[in-house]
Amino acid sequence: MIKEWTPEELVAVEKRIVELFRQKKIRSMFHLSSGNESQLIEIFRDVKPEDWCLSTHRSHYHALLKGMSPEKLISEVVRGKSMHLYDRELKFFTSSIVGGVLPIAVGVALSIKLKGDRERVWVFVGDMCSRMGVFHECVQYAQGYDLPIFFVIEDNGMCINSNTKDVWGRNDAHKIVDYVYTRKYPHSGTGDWISFQNEDDKTIR
Mean pLDDT for the stretch of residues 144-172: 82
With CA atoms as reference, report the closest residue to 124 among 79, 169, 85, 167: 85
Distance CA 13, CA 185 (A): 60
Mean pLDDT for the stretch of residues 174-202: 63
What pLDDT is stored for residue 205 in this prediction? 46
Mean pLDDT for the stretch of residues 6-19: 95
Pair type for strands 158-159 and 149-154: unpaired
Pair type for strands 86-87 and 121-126: unpaired
Global pTM exceeds 0.85: no
- The C-alpha R_g of the chain, in whole angstroms, comes to 23
Q: Which domains does the chain have, with CATH numbers?
A: 7-204 (3.40.50.970)
Per-residue pLDDT reduced to its tens digit, 28-61:
888 988 889 999 999 999 999 999 999 999 999 9
The most confident of 3-7, 74-78, 166-170, by mean pLDDT: 74-78
Name the DSSP letter for residue 35. Answer: S
Q: What is the mean pLDDT of the chain?
A: 87
What phi-psi label fits residue 2: left (phi over 0), alpha (psi between -120 and 50 degrees) or beta?
Answer: beta
